[in-house]
Structures are given as C-alpha cells and as structure tokens.
Structure 1
Amino acid sequence: MEINFLALLTAALSTLFVGFVWYHPKVFGTIWMKEAGITEEKMKGSNMALTFGMAVVYAFFIAFILQFLTIHQFGASGMIGGEVETAKPSYAAFMADYGTVFRTFKHGMLHGFFSGLFFALPVIGTNALFERRSWKYTLIAGGFWVVCCMIMGGIICAWI
C-alpha cells in the first residue's frame, strides 16, 4: 500500500482546528491555562509560529503511525515484506477481496478512539503524574488527544 501524504497532512492539520475549539476560553481553555500554570501574558511572549509549526510536525508523526493502526490492509502489506510486484498471487487475491473493507471514516474513528484512549491518554497521564499536574489537566490534555486521534483516524482510514 502506498502512503498518502496529503491525507496525513490533512489529518495533522485537523488537530489545529480541534485545538482552536478545545482550548477556547469558553470550552476548556481557561481551566487548562489555570491547571497548566500558564497566563495570557506568558502565551503572548512565545513564538507562536514555531509552536504551531512544531505542533503540526508532531501531529504528522502521530498521523503516520495512525495509518497502520486504522487500516487493516497495511497488515497484509507488511506480511509480504517487500514490493507488491514481488508478492505471491495470494496477496493480489486477498487485496482484490478485502482491499477496501473497513475503510470508512467511522471505522477509522473507532481505531483512533482506542489509540487515543490506550496510548495517548496514558502517555499524557504518566507525564502529568510526574509533573504533579491535576486530574483536570490530565483529562483536558488527554481528552484532546483522544478526540484528535479519532478525527485523524477517520480522515486517514477514509482517504488513504
């Protein structure tokens, strides 16, 4: 299977839109800033272009891995261990029968949810424990990544 970098970039950029809503002061922004110990003055003194740029780069890394977690057909591609042209005829037959099975936005969101819940949230939670962050911080930051993984998974699974 080929990697669709446009789909991965779109999925990565979707995190900016989710973040715009999620961290809006009327949603979780005010609580998150309080729990993170961040003030508006401190935010204004940062290089936001660099911050948003690196956020997209990191989200792209997440999107890259999510394609393998949301698209079952990548498992079949991994089994042949090389180029599709050198695969046995059984691979072509398998892909002809199952090449588009479970390739929907909804199915990608399901796998994205599990990825966010069982990978992203525990990573955020572990860091929050050692940083002595509150459970509110953990749920806001971890919940953000669960939602992002769901949307990213949906985009990736439906598009690639």
Structure 2
Amino acid sequence: MNILTILLAALAAFLVGGLWYGPLFGTAWMRLIGKTPEELGQANMVKLYGIAFLFALLQATMLAHLFARIGAPPFHIVMMISTGIALGFVIPAIGTNYLFRREPGKLFFIDAGYWFAFYAAMGLVFALLG
C-alpha cells in the first residue's frame, strides 16, 4: 500500500467535507440540525478536525488494502468499488439511523450526498495514483 496515496485520498475526502458543509450545503445543513455558526464554532476545532481526519485516514487505508488485495483494478472498477461502498453500506446505515431518529429527508440527502462524494473523491485518487 502506498502511504502517500492513502494520505492524498484522505485529504481529498476531507476537503470534500469542507466544501460540502461549507459553501455548498452548510447553511441548509445548519438549519436542519438546528445549530448556528456560533454554536458550531464553540467546539475544540483542532480535536474535531483531527479526529475526523483520522477517520478519513482509516477509511482510505481500508480502501487501499482492498485495492491491494484485488491487484490494481482499472479506473472504472476502483470508482465502482469506492462509490459502491458508499451506496451499499454507508448510506443505508445512516439512512436507517435517520429513519428511527425521524430526521428530515433533506438532512439525509445532504449527508448521504456527502458520503457518496467523500468515497468518490477517495476512489478518484486511488484510480489516478494507484
């Protein structure tokens, strides 16, 4: 497994979150979770972003391990696997939680779209850099 590719995949996915919950859907997301920018800014941001990046590293490492085990798959297979993990595992899992918590459908689609874009970004890095 290539450590640099893992770091770049985690960074790409992490940056997707900054765009997704910032200029793209940040305002709608905050309204749906009932928070203001001031409330969200009260968290320990170094700890919050640090742990989030560690989670992204773990996810990228697991993808790298999977791709290493199946042996340098072509671009379309890497993208099918990475986005398939989001569509087949992550999104249904959060969808189930949202159903039982009775979260708004709009919030689900914002978060589900994020996870799809997150895994697509990681997949793109692996597909391009192998």
TM-score by length of 2: 0.87
Aligned residue number for residue 32 of structure 1: 29
AA partner of residue 12 (structure 1): A
Secondary structure of 1:23's match? helix
**How far apart are 1:124 and its partner, in Å?**
1.6
Residue 69 of structure 2, aligned match among 34, 49, 74: 74
**How far apart are 1:8 and its partner, in Å?**
1.1
AA partner of residue 67 (structure 1): A
Structure 1 unmatched ranges of 5 or more: 76-98
**How far apart are 1:58 and its partner, in Å?**
0.6
Aligned residue number for residue 84 of structure 2: 114
**How far apart are 1:143 and its partner, in Å?**
0.9
Report the aligned-residue RMSD: 1.9
Q: Does 1:41 align with 2:11?
A: no
Bigger helix fraction: 2
**How far apart are 1:156 and its partner, in Å?**
2.1
**How far apart are 1:107 and its partner, in Å?**
3.7
Contact 2:12 2:125 in 1 (8 A): no
Secondary structure of 1:133's match? coil
For 1:2-41, what per-residue CA distance to the aligned partner results, in whole angstroms no more than 9, with x for missing partners?
A: x21221111111122111221124x211111111222112
**Could you say which structure has the greater relative contact order, defined with CA pairs below 8 angstroms and 6 or more residues apart?**
2
Distance change >3 Å, CA 158–CA 41, structure 1 → 2: same
Contact 2:10 2:57 in 1 (8 A): yes
CA–CA distance in structure 1, aligned partners of residues 62 and 99 of structure 2:
25
CA–CA distance in structure 1, aligned partners of residues 46 and 8 of structure 2:
18
CA–CA distance in structure 2, aligned partners of residues 48 and 107 of structure 1:
36
TM-score by length of 1: 0.72
**How far apart are 1:101 and its partner, in Å?**
4.9
Aligned residue number for residue 84 of structure 1: none
